[in-house]
Structure formats: C-alpha cells, structure tokens
A and B are shown apart, each in its own frame.
Chain A
C-alpha cells in the first residue's frame, strides 16, 4: 500500500530504459521469431528442418562442446588470476589489473586479429619456431578449434574475474587463520575452506562465461576460418550467404530459448549454493 504513491513516478523514471529495451531488443526479436514461423511459408517447417538437419545439429553440438571447454578453462584461469588479484601484493595486483582489464577495453575484432598475427602460418610463433630451427614448415595453429578456444578464453576471462573477486573478498580472513591454527596445510585450507566458500562466485562466473560464449560470433568466425562453425556463425550464414531467413530465424529462437533455460537452471542452483544448505 505504501508503495502505491511511488509506483507511477518510478515507472516514469524507468520508462526510457524499458522503452529502449522494448524497441532495441524485444521488438526485433519478436520480428525474428515471426520470420521463423512465416518464411518462406507459414508453419513450423523450419523447426522440423532444425531438428532434422545434421549440419545444424553438428553446429549446436560443436558450439556446446567448445563453450564447455572454454568455460572450464576460462573459469579455472580466472580463479587463479583473481586469487592473486584479491590476495596478492600491491605489485601483483597492479600487474593483473593491467593484463586483464586493459585488453578488456580493446575491440573483439582487434583481439581476434591479434591472435591471427600470433598464430597464422606467417605469424610470430611460426616464424620464430622456424628461425630457431625447431620446425621445418609452419604449423597449422589457426583455423581450428584450439585457436577458437584460445581466442574465446582470452576474451571471457575478465567476465569471470569480477564475480569471483566479489566472492573472494567476502571470505572472512579469520576462517583461514582458524584452519591454519588447527594445523591445516595450505592445500587443505584451499580445498576444504577457501574453495567451498567461494563456490557461489564460481557458479556465477560459470553461468556468465557459458552464456556469453554461446553467442560468440566474431572470434570463432575469424580464428575458426569457416571450418568449425558455431551456432551464431551458422545464423549469419543462413541470413546473409544462402538466403534462408526462416531457418536462420528458427536457429536464433532455439538458441535464445536454450540460453534462457540454462540461466534459469543455473540461477536456481546458485541461489541454493549461496544460502548454504538449501533449506
């Protein structure tokens, strides 16, 4: 009751954001959803194709596989980096900030080309290896899954660092001291105290990284070189290369539903983890 008087002014203040999201996001997406059931003719034909087409299926499976690997590597790397960032010396913290957050502001495209410059046939790695006489010819370091994974992990680590840092900062120093005082080794303290206490942060970071990685387009397109196509690139190809808007739209809708479902599931899991015990 008390809030009723504040309802309309609050709505008025939020209106620009709501309108922006509606016009920039909801309306276009509804348009795409409409295409998926109307192009080239009305009906669920495109969804039948989506389920039946081995090319689409393999793109989905590849996307999940790559994203899972990327998430595990990115969260693990981010955990180590965050640990040093939160608990390290001043120098270490400064170094981490430069190494993690400066690239964060550089365009995705630039970073993908940076990896190309490193890994391509005439890139720095290959020319160095040959100059040192370690390899005869150039190694195929790019246009494959591992290079896509490397590029994606690089982009996604900062997104995992932030939730992990907030979890690590809430760990009570006295709990770690208490464990030490009871004779626990550093490894033991990490596994049975520090890691469980930061688990909500790990779940949050996993959720964010996995969801972000599912929609990756630029990095896999450049580093995968058209060989290991992921879902977002497949949508692009269906839309702009082989005019097949209906299928492209159906794949988009399927991806959004999957992501939303995953987010719901993981958010519930994270809530249980945060309250510790789930009761």
Chain B
C-alpha cells in the first residue's frame, strides 16, 4: 500500500534547552521501511529525539535528511510524518470517522475519496461499527486503533510512535503489539517507535537504538544488542545479567580470559581490554551442576534462594566472595537440582559470556 517509505539520515543532531543538553551528537541511519525502536530509561532523550524527527522541536545542531533531502529546517506540518502520541491525543469533539478523516481534509482531498479511505482503514484496524462514536465512548485499545488509523490514513512516509502502549494493561498491550507489527508489514512505512519497555523493543523491532543521558549508545538488531552489548549500561538495561569482575586479562587461542576468585574464565576475544574487566553472562545461558564442568566456564557457588516464575525458575547464588549470580532454568529441569544440598557449580560455555570494559 505504501508507495514511498523513506529513509532518514540523522547527522550529528544535538538539542539543548538552555544549559541542559537533551541530545548530544546523534548520528543514525534509518532505513526505508524498517521498524526502529528508540529504547532508554525516562529522561534519556528518546522522546526529545522523536520530537526532533517529527519537527515539533528544532535541533540545536546537526542535520536531518529524508532520502538525502535536507529537512532540518522544515516544519512539522510540511514533513507530515504520521504520529501516534502517548495518550493518543484524539480530538474529543470529533467522532471516530471525523478524527480519521481530519488529515485527509487538511490535504483537500475530495469528499468521496475521504469517505472511501476512512471506511477502508476503519475496516483494517477492526473498528467497523464504531465510526460514529466519540473517543470517550471507546476502550483504551479501541482509542489506540483510532490513533493508528488517523496516523496511517494519509500514507505518511514515516510513522512515529511515542510510547503508544503505556496506558494499556498487559494483555491488551500484547495484542496491540501484534497489531502494530502487522500494520508495519502491511503498510511498509518506516516506523520509529519509542519505548522504555525492553521486552517490547526486543519483540517488535528490526533494529533497536539505545539511549542514555542524551546519547545514542548502540544501534543494532535485537539479537545483536541483547547478546553483544557494547557497554555495561546496554547489557543491564536489556534484561537481567550477571556481572563478574575479572582481573589479569590475557589473550589466548580460544579468546580472552580473566581471573575471577580462583577460576580462569574465558570469553570471546576482546582486543581492547587489559588489566581488569567485567564478564557478563545472561541468566538463561547458565546451567547448574554438582561437579565442576568438563568444558567451558564454571564457578562454585552456594544456592541462597529460588523464585518460581511458572515456566521458569530463578535461582539466586552467591560465590565464595559473595558476588551474586542469577540463573534461570526451565521449571521442569530445575526441580531435581534443588534437593541436592546448597553447594553447586554454575556453568556456561565460552561463547555465552562477553567481556565489557569496567567503566561504561
């Protein structure tokens, strides 16, 4: 349906409010038709960046290109990207159909065409039968659909979404995520999506851009970012992770290794480290045994607590020096381990850990 998904080139964009720097030197290529998620804690600058993309806020420095054309100075109304706001920002005095028709009326499209396109999109987002209701008469999920329909009906080259699911309960949130993914596939528009929910980011996006303190820390496919974070912040922000301080960094044939307590632990090669570093391992990449492992890394640890999560179980360990380790195992596999006393080995393969610089 979309004939003109565009790519955006962000070159050194910065934004200051007085002495406060909200964005610093953001450089990023957004490919046509991709689903890019801007992820970060609140106050990280992700929403400010979205507002700069939309044209609601002017960049203090840098340039923004749309398919190579400089649009840094153009106004929001001329860029005409679709936008779904937090809280939806539906017009309360207009009906569902009137809300969706608004961007088409603004463009001076013929009345019959408007009616046809509004009807078509109402059917596509599953709002048939609600055309004449006011937003206040709709549920949260339905309002969300109206907001999406209103933002997509004029086939914008880019759709910007600012935490669109933050007001929905967990169940509805999952359904709307699927819906948004489906609409992205159907319309082929470039989606730029802001969220602070990392699981949402991981499941929806083709790429994730991680923000913190107004800086862009890392951009990449969900899997790359989750499994190969470039910094401690990214590693910790994307989900639970174990961090083991290691010293005596050395490089060998199998990778880079360091000493934790008495054990020599190995991870994939990291050339820019020496002295000490942090070895990071995701809880679901670890296993538990009574004996030291024959292959890979192993650390002796004592079981200090368990949490039942339904399908999985979270086991809390403490190493000899008191470093906490968390391991998640499928509940089925975890059951028989617990009976065997408090002292275990926590193990993982060389490939499943990664080294990070100490300060980051």
Contacts and interface: CB of A to CB of B under 8 A. Distances in A.
A binds B: yes
Contacts of B91: 175, 179, 193, 196-197
B136 interface: yes
Interface string B58-90: 000000000000000001111011110111011
Nearest to B99: A178
Given A182-B154, A184-B106, A276 B92 contact: yes
A183 B77 contact: yes
B41 interface: no
A182 B92 contact: no
Contact of B136 (A175, A180, A276): A276
A182 B134 contact: no
Contact of B93 (A174, A184, A185, A196): A196
A183 B89 contact: no
Contacts of B136: 276-277
A197 B83 contact: no
Contacts of B56: 177, 180-181
A183 B107 contact: yes
A203 to B, nearest CB: 13
Contacts of B247: none
Pick the most buried of A175, A178, A179: most chain B CB atoms within 10 A of its CB.
A178
B92 A197 contact: yes
Given A175-B91, A177-B56, A193-B91, A183 B134 contact: no
Given A183-B107, A184-B77, A192 B102 contact: yes
A175 to B, nearest CB: 5
Interface in A169-218: 172, 174-175, 177-185, 188, 192-193, 196-197, 199
A178 B82 CA distance: 9
A22 to B, nearest CB: 41
Given A174-B87, A276-B134, A277-B134, A181 B93 contact: no
Interface in A32-65: none
B54 interface: yes
B80 A174 contact: no
Given A175-B89, A196-B93, A276-B93, A181 B54 contact: yes
Contacts of B196: none
Nearest to B160: A181
A180 B55 CA distance: 10
A15 to B, nearest CB: 41
B282 interface: no
Contacts of B83: 177-178, 181-182
Interface string A139-181: 0000000000000000000000000000000001011011111
B161 to A, nearest CB: 12
Pick the most buried of A175, A188, A199: most chain B CB atoms within 10 A of its CB.
A175
Pick the most buried of B56, B90, B91, B154: most chain A CB atoms within 10 A of its CB.
B91
B182 to A, nearest CB: 23
Interface residues of B, number: 28
Contacts of B151: 182
Nearest to B83: A181
Given A174-B87, A177-B85, A183 B92 contact: no
A174 B85 contact: yes
A50 B102 CA distance: 53
Contacts of A177: 56, 76, 83, 85, 89
Nearest to B137: A277
Given A174-B87, A185-B77, A276-B136, A179 B92 contact: no
A251 B309 CA distance: 80
Given A177-B56, A178-B83, A276-B134, A184 B89 contact: no
Nearest to A193: B91
B106 A183 contact: yes
Interface string A75-87: 0000000000000
Contacts of B54: 181
B148 to A, nearest CB: 13
A196 B54 CA distance: 25
Nearest to A177: B56
Contact of A180 (B76, B86, B107, B134): B76
B77 A180 contact: yes
Interface in B103-138: 103, 106-107, 134, 136
Nearest to B132: A277
Contacts of B86: 174
Interface in A225-267: none
B150 interface: yes
Contacts of A277: 134, 136
Interface in B142-162: 150-151, 154
Contact of A172 (B89, B107, B150): B89
B102 A184 contact: yes
Nearest to A192: B102
B145 to A, nearest CB: 16
Contacts of B90: 175
A175 B75 CA distance: 17
B93 A183 contact: no
Interface string B260-298: 000000000000000000000000000000000000000
16 contacts: A174-B85, A175-B89, A177-B85, A178-B85, A178-B89, A180-B56, A180-B75, A180-B77, A182-B103, A183-B78, A184-B102, A185-B106, A196-B93, A199-B93, A276-B92, A277-B136
Given A177-B89, A197-B91, 4 more contacts: A182-B83, A182-B102, A183-B77, A183-B154
Interface of B: 54-56, 75-78, 80-83, 85-87, 89-93, 102-103, 106-107, 134, 136, 150-151, 154
Across the A-B interface, the 7 shortest Cβ-Cβ residue pairs: A182-B103, A174-B89, A178-B89, A181-B83, A196-B93, A183-B80, A184-B106
